[in-house]
Amino acid sequence: MPHAPLIIDIAGAALTAEDRRRIAHPLTGGVILFTRNWQSRQQIAALTAAIRVIRPDALIAIDHEGGRVQRFREGGFTPLPPMRALGRLWEEDALQALAAATACGYVLAAELRACGIDLSFTPVLDLDWGRSAVIGDRALHPQPQAAAQLAKSLLHGLLLAGMKGCGKHFPGHGYTQADSHTHLPQDGRPLAELLQADAAPYGWLGLALPAVMPAHVIYPQVDERPAGFSPYWLQDVLRGLLGFDGAIVSDDLGMAAARQMQGRQLTHAEAACAALNAGCDLALLCNQCLDGGAALDAALEGLQAARGVHWQPRPASEARRRALLPAFDAPDWAALMAQPAYQQALSLVEKLAARRG
């Protein structure tokens, strides 16, 4: 089973000849969509269908969490509240919060799947320390126990709609203040403290967590490399100590700050190799198709040249990628709107959104 580890993006609302060539590349395993790819719900469904004509097994993914990270907000998509709303409800009524979390996951996933999207990079498992502007209200709760239980219910909702989820950003991004899109954050706490707090949900969630995205953060008391490039974090801690056996998906390797390692700037291909060698199963490369896509072509060519030399394809990684694909077909949009389960979940989501003050 050939290992196709790269998740790439496309520039516009329809596939170009260059997009088709890149999607057909043997190392491309998936496509991530952004707001720039949106014109209408019908257009998104046509776009995902066009991707599947080229690669029937492509994993079509998106960052769609709710709140300020929700790529599609029009055409009938439900405006989802930020996940902090679930944490606030937890403080008043934990059981009601768990039900609302399941409903949020179900509505989120069912609407995306009705348009041909397989995976959302959610939930955020970072703790709300009140320090990170880039995380902020994306976090479920300051306490790891509450965050884990809310995340488990959210993942259950996703699964009811046939979608897997991805916990992020391991071992935790909520304590750092720098934005990893522009700087490389550092978290100076020791391993024991990180395992007791930020990383704890990853172990507690167990089999409920299908995928994990590591943080573009350095924890200097543990390893000088960012977590997503660290065999210690990914293999010794995440897989070994915490027993995680799902897919590990790198955070965006297009971020310039993320490719700063040991005093030099890695190319995109070098960064992908480093992530895969550290233990990632999939390497995410965003926003490199813009301005003609020369950077994305160089990454594909460089990763192909490095195959078998600087990184070794792994059948287990390809199996984990395929395991993220939905196990059953989704209803179309009209059929979904008529489903009692969807209407019930939507009512809970709307009540949660109305509580925000």
Catalytic residues: 181, 251
Give yes or no for a contact between 58 and 51, defined as CB atoms under 8 angstroms apart. Answer: yes
How big is the CA angle at 79 (ends 76 and 82), to the nearest 5 degrees?
160
What are the Cα distances from residue 124, in Å, to 134, 150, 212?
Answer: 12, 11, 10
In whole angstroms, give the CA distance from residue 141 to residue 218. Answer: 23
Give yes or no for a contact between 192 and 166, defined as CB atoms under 8 angstroms apart. Answer: no
- 57-89 b/e (C-beta count within 10 Å ≥ 16 → b): ebbbbbbbbbbebbbbeeeebbebbbbbbbbbb
In whole angstroms, give the CA distance from residue 54 to residue 292. Answer: 21
In whole angstroms, give the CA distance from residue 293 to residue 21. Answer: 12
Helix (H, G, I), strand (E, B) or coil at 48: helix
The CB density around residue 176, as the number of other CB atoms within 10 Å, is 26
Question: What contacts 327, CB < 8 A, 6 or more positions away?
Answer: 162
- Tell me the β-bridge partners of 218: 186, 226
Extended beta strands in 227-308, E state: 247-248, 260-261, 264-265, 283-284
How big is the CA angle at 100 (ends 98 and 102), to the nearest 5 degrees?
70
In whole angstroms, give the CA distance from residue 320 to residue 279. Answer: 12
User: Can you count the helices (H) and strands (E) in the chain?
Assistant: 13, 14
In whole angstroms, give the CA distance from residue 131 to residue 116. Answer: 36
Query: Which of 108, 147, 139, 63 has its CA nearest to residue 349?
Result: 108
